[in-house]
Homo-oligomer: A and B are copies of this chain.
């Protein structure tokens, strides 16, 4: 498969991909390193918290999304980066045994005004669980090179 360019992400495009099993071991290992709040660390402590059981750190769900995006398209995209992430919303808990996938929507796509060799693609990402519930959303603006140049 060749590189993916700006032109490969037209406004309105929708794609679904990814299948990531969430395990208790990974939830706890991630939390130990980055977010050691009790309801991410320990099943017993989590039972007595507002969460009612072990749940993944929101940042853990975020990096699972990043990894699914890498595997699906970022590693073969003519990418010049994404300088921000907007409106990350954690809508539902993610726990052991959940299977996550991604729905990617191209909200808008336009050539850069200041750099004619690239385009700006506005993505909305939805992380979806096995019940087809959206557990997290994220917006960003990605810079991608144009296939043909300006």
List the interface of chain A (C-beta within 8 A of B): 33-37, 50, 57-59, 62-64, 66-67, 70, 74-75, 79-91
How many identical subunits does the complex contain?
A: 2
- Residues in B whose Cβ lies below 8 Å from that of A37: 70, 74-75, 79
| 22 residue pairs bridging A and B, Cβ less than 8 Å apart | A34-B63, A34-B64, A35-B66, A35-B67, A35-B70, A36-B70, A36-B75, A37-B75, A50-B80, A50-B81, A58-B82, A58-B85, A59-B62, A59-B63, A59-B66, A83-B89, A83-B90, A84-B88, A84-B90, A85-B88, A86-B87, A86-B88
Closest residue on chain B to residue A86 by CB atoms: B87
Q: What DSSP secondary structure best describes chain A's contact surface?
A: mixed
Q: Does B67 lie within 8 Å of A33, measured CB to CB?
A: yes
- Residues in B whose Cβ lies below 8 Å from that of A79: 37
Give the docked Cα–Cα distance between A16 and B59 (Å).
22
- Residues in B whose Cβ lies below 8 Å from that of A63: 33-35, 59, 63
Q: Shortest 3 CB-CB distances between A and B: which pairs? A: A34-B63, A85-B88, A84-B89
